Amino acid sequence: MGLDEVIKMASNESPVGPSPMAAAAARAALTQAYRYPGIGERNLRRKLAGRLGRGLTADNIVIGNGGTDVLRMIAQAFVFNGGNTVMCRASFPMYRIATDTFGGEAQQVEPTPDLRHDLPAMADQINADTRIVYLCSPNNPTGHIIPQAEAKAFMARVPAHVVVVFDESYCDFVTEPDYADSLAYVAEGRNVLVVRSFSKSAGLAGLRCGYVVGRQELADYVRHTQLPFHTSDVVLAAASASLDDVDFLREIREAVANGRAYLYHAICDLGLTCLPSQANFITILDPPMGANELAAAVLQRGYIVRAMGAFGLPNGVRVSVGTRAENEKFVAVLREVIGNP
Ligand SMILES: Cc1ncc(COP(=O)(O)O)c(C=O)c1O
């Protein structure tokens, strides 16, 4: 292609990377890399429990090598041959993949016409063999959140044999006040697991760290799927230090909120449709030239964005929020592509 520079806005990574405190902690931990992991895992669980409040303790938390690994562990713990899971068709594909891996049947429920989770339809889909319902909030690839009242109505219909997984990998970017409070269900003792990730706001996607929060019995089932020395001390040190750098986290939240507002309005101004997002990406819908074609055309000009066919949205193209300069250059490239398909 003869490009001098390629900008990746395809995997919802942080545009600014990790906190310098996290990078320093990882470097310091490297000097001990000849040792097997020690107490770092328990210490991180303790610190997370303190941050989350609600009377949660380290025993309510399980750490994995990214949210993806945590989703694998949850499926390994609860899915079996003959069991099924329920999810929105336009959502993160890992729910289906993890269900398939452990012999379950993934049941994908159509979203509402405005591409939200159709929670009443998802509740209708639950039967005696249902093990897990996956709710992704903010949802990848739509950026929608599940509002409090909708979650409440849904939870009232969920039978006791079902585990509800709230995947909140993008929760730090939410600015809408009506965001469903999933941890309240954990505190109430419901069969709810809340998944979070250090890959997004903490900028540690390459180190791989995520965690799940649930009542102790559920957390213990998940813990049984961990391998010995599951997560490296370098990873744990970086994740732990990132929690301490609250100024950095506030700045990245603000930068992402500004960047996504800019992208949303600038892309709409080009005459394209985009979904309002509460995450660190914006999804363009129904580009006139087609989603795959749009992604290919911007790639020719040095920008990697992702067509969302694999995420159940064949007419969508997801653009991760970049730095201010990257966002502005991307909009210029998009204008050129739309003008000269
Ligand atoms: C909705 C959702 N859940 C979980 C993950 C897993 O991320 P990681 O494995 O990097 O923590 C992602 C990553 O993009 C995601 O979009």
Q: Quick one: pLDDT at residue 72?
A: 98
279, pLDDT greater than 60? yes
User: pLDDT (tens digit, 9 = 90+) per residue, 72-120?
Assistant: 999 999 999 989 999 999 999 999 999 999 999 999 999 999 999 999 9
Ligand 1 neighbourhood includes 66 CB (under 6 angstroms): yes
Beta strands per DSSP E along 47-154: 61-64, 84-88, 105-109, 130-136
Per-residue exposure over 239-256, b if at least 16 CB sit within 10 Å of its own CB, e if not = bbbbbebeebbeebbebb
- What are the tokens at 71? 């989703």
Ligand 1 neighbourhood includes 68 CB (under 6 angstroms): yes
Q: Which domains does the chain have, with CATH numbers?
A: 7-16+247-339 (3.90.1150.10), 20-244 (3.40.640.10)
Closest to 166 (Cα-Cα) out of 192, 197, 130: 192
Q: Which atom of ligand 1 is nearest to the CA of 69?
A: 9
Q: Which atom of ligand 1 is nearest to the CA of 198?
A: 11
Contacts of 178 (CB under 8 A, 6+ apart): 145, 147, 148, 149
* pTM attached to this predicted model: 0.97
User: pLDDT (tens digit, 9 = 90+) per residue, 216-258?
Assistant: 999 999 999 999 999 999 999 999 999 999 999 999 999 999 9
Using CA positions, which residue lies closest to atom 4 of ligand 1?
67
